[in-house]
Amino acid sequence: MTLRQCKPLHIILILLIAAACTGCTSFKRWLNEGFGRDGWQHPEEVLQALNLKDGQFVADLGSGSGYFTFRLAEAVRPTGKVYAVDADPGMNDYVAARAREERYANIDVILAKPDDPLLPESGVDLIFTCITYHHLEDRVSYFKNASKYLRPGGRITVIDFNGEGWFTRLIGHWTPREVILQELQQADYSLQQELTFLPNQVFLLFSYRGR
């Protein structure tokens, strides 16, 4: 598809995405949190499905502007902790500033490497990733390596677009369910649960079987 063949709205969205790749933090925040996200992301239902407990430690992998970070932090309060993990320094600075301003002492921000989330050796009970999976390279190796950060009984959650709808197909920001299942199986994970209430997204929970 060329720009000449695109509808005007499609062109605008393509330009917005291109701008986001090099744009300012506030614009990236808008892309993370805009487009009526609460309506299609169902964050409260997602948190309920995760069944998090006070005292658990969670890594929000690809935390961006903190859309889920602060919700996760509420779910594991008062003694749990959330690591906001992202490779974007601007997004990390924003989350850190907001955490200080709103007094979320249980949020730590981590500037990750492309191939390693750099979590503390003490580990986490959950690695949570939402609309991030498709950005990762060599995902089998990535999640094999990430398993060293999981505590016994720890889980990995993958939420990503499934390719339904013209927008996700247009920009390629999605991962087929079968690909996620195959790659996580190759990385020594087993599917623990699949939830289907999210429109146009897969929602999969995995446990590590490598130990």
pTM for this model (two decimals): 0.83
Whole-angstrom Cα Rg for the chain: 17
pLDDT reported for residue 35: 63
Residue 172: CA count within 13 A, CB half-sphere: 2
- HEC string of the chain? CCCCCCCHHHHHHHHHHHHHHHCCHHHHHHHHHCCCHHHHHCHHHHHHHHCCCCCCEEEEECCCCCCCHHHHHHHCCCCCEEEEEECCHHHHHHHHHHHHHCCCCCEEEEECECCECCCCCCCEEEEEEECCHHHCCCHHHHHHHHHHHEEEEEEEEEEEECCCCHHHHHHCCCCCHHHHHHHHHHCCEEEEEEECCCCCEEEEEEEECCC
pLDDT reported for residue 174: 74
Q: Which residues, including other chains, have CB under 8 Å from residue 162's CB and lie 6 or more apart?
A: 168, 174, 175, 176, 177, 200, 201, 202
Looking at this protein, which amino acid is placed at residue 59?
A
Residue 27 lies in a domain: no
Residue 73 lies in a domain: yes
pLDDT reported for residue 192: 97
Residue 12 lies in a domain: no
* pLDDT (tens digit per residue) in 112-148: 999 999 999 999 999 999 999 999 999 999 999 999 9
Q: Do 184 and 143 meet the contact criterion of CB atoms below 8 Å apart? A: yes
Q: Which residues, including other chains, have CB under 8 Å from residue 55's CB and lie 6 or more apart?
A: 76, 79, 80
Instruction: Report the alpha-carbon distance of residue 208 to residue 211 in Å, rounded.
Output: 7
Q: Do 202 and 45 meet the contact criterion of CB atoms below 8 Å apart? A: no
Looking at this protein, which amino acid is placed at residue 66?
G
Residue 69 lies in a domain: yes
- What is the domain-level CATH number for residue 67? 3.40.50.150
Residue 36 lies in a domain: no
Residue 52 lies in a domain: yes
Full residue range of the structural domain in which residue 164 is found: 41-208
Regions of the chain with pLDDT less than 50: 1-22, 30, 170
Number of domains in the chain: 1
Residue 132 lies in a domain: yes
pLDDT reported for residue 26: 61
pLDDT reported for residue 165: 61
Residue 26 lies in a domain: no
